[in-house]
Chain A
Amino acid sequence: MTWPAIFALAVGSYALKAMGLLGFGGRAVPERARSAFTLIPAALLAALIAVQTFADGRHLTIDARVAGLGAAAVAVLARRSFLTVVVVGAVATAIVRAL
């Protein structure tokens, strides 16, 4: 991350937060727009999970990260905290990589 990228992200993020709270001022937003906004995290997070688990540069691979994601999924299903999920995933990846 470069400083300009950090500032651009900061300004953009604040604008998104403030627009709804200050801009619309209690006016109703169409149900369709609301549906779109709230679906974006599902789509983007899923894409991020896929790319960061299976991509190595411009290639698709199956490596130790898959084992880490699997272990993390078990932790998610067991309703563990965010930190536990991340640590379990990282440790499982490191172990499989060291084998």
Chain B
Amino acid sequence: MHARWNRLQAPPVRDALVLSAAVGVFGVSFGVLAVSSGLTVLQACAMSLLVFTGASQFAAIGLTAAGSDPSAAVGSALLLGARHLAYGVALGPIFSGSRRTTRAVAAQVMIDESTAMATAQGNPTDARAAFWAAGLGVYVFWNLGTLAGALVGNGIGDPTRYGLDAAFPCGFLALIVTHVRDRGGQTAAALATVIALALVSIVPAGLPVLVASAAIIPGMVVRARLARRSP
């Protein structure tokens, strides 16, 4: 018991639990926006339980609300989720001794927060503790938040009256910050903005965002060039 309590108080685990509670509030905003863009409470909860990646969930409902075709919305959301491939590879060594079933469960809670917490630790044991604390903690709070938000959002009515349509781009603005810290990310973001806006009146809704993902190529060139200059 004491050992377990001590472990709960260890800094990485404590930080992870604080983080989880904060993400729960973010889940509330997802729940509200999901039902205000036409999802049922059950659909909003199913998304958080099954999809469980905030940015993809927001992108999918945001694009659908803006009139995008469901397949384009799902396509954009999945592209956004492609970063998890890199996360899984980065976390591979930490879970190399774990059973396949453990890794299969870990995959569902492998998100931005748990990956960041795990990779910040000094050794595999701490990394796994931080990963599970953040992953499971965020999972619980994100889903509770979604349910609460969906129930509240049901009574809100017309979303544009409260500026909820602007909540999507504002939320994405908060999410993009960690991805544009380097020149490569900034290049990709700037060019994607130009491409998307240029295509809005030319192609159907949803496609401008998908096509704008091509902006990663100049971003990669910038990153490669900078890496070569400073070995």
From known contacts A17-B88, A83-B25, infer whether A43 and B166 are also in contact, taking CB-CB under 8 Å.
no
Q: How far is the CB of B127 from chain A (nearest CB, A)?
A: 13
Interface string of A1-24 (1 = CB under 8 A from B): 111111111101110111111111
What residues of B have a CB within 8 angstroms of the CB of A76 in the complex? 173-174, 177
Count of chain B residues with Cβ under 8 Å from any Cβ of A?
102
What residues of A have a CB within 8 angstroms of the CB of B80 in the complex? 40-41, 44-45
For the complex, would chain B's binding face be called helix, strand, loop or mixed by DSSP majority?
helix
Q: How far is the CB of B45 from chain A (nearest CB, A)?
A: 11
| Distance in angstroms between the alpha carbons of A73 and B103 in the assembled complex | 38
Which chain A residues have a beta carbon within 8 Å of chain B's beta carbons?
1-10, 12-14, 16-29, 32-55, 57-60, 64-65, 68-69, 72-73, 76, 81-83, 85-86, 88-95, 97
Query: Given A20-B85, A26-B92, 17 other A-B contacts at CB below 8 A?
Result: A1-B61, A6-B46, A12-B78, A13-B78, A16-B85, A19-B85, A20-B89, A39-B216, A40-B213, A42-B180, A42-B186, A44-B212, A47-B195, A51-B196, A82-B175, A90-B162, A90-B163
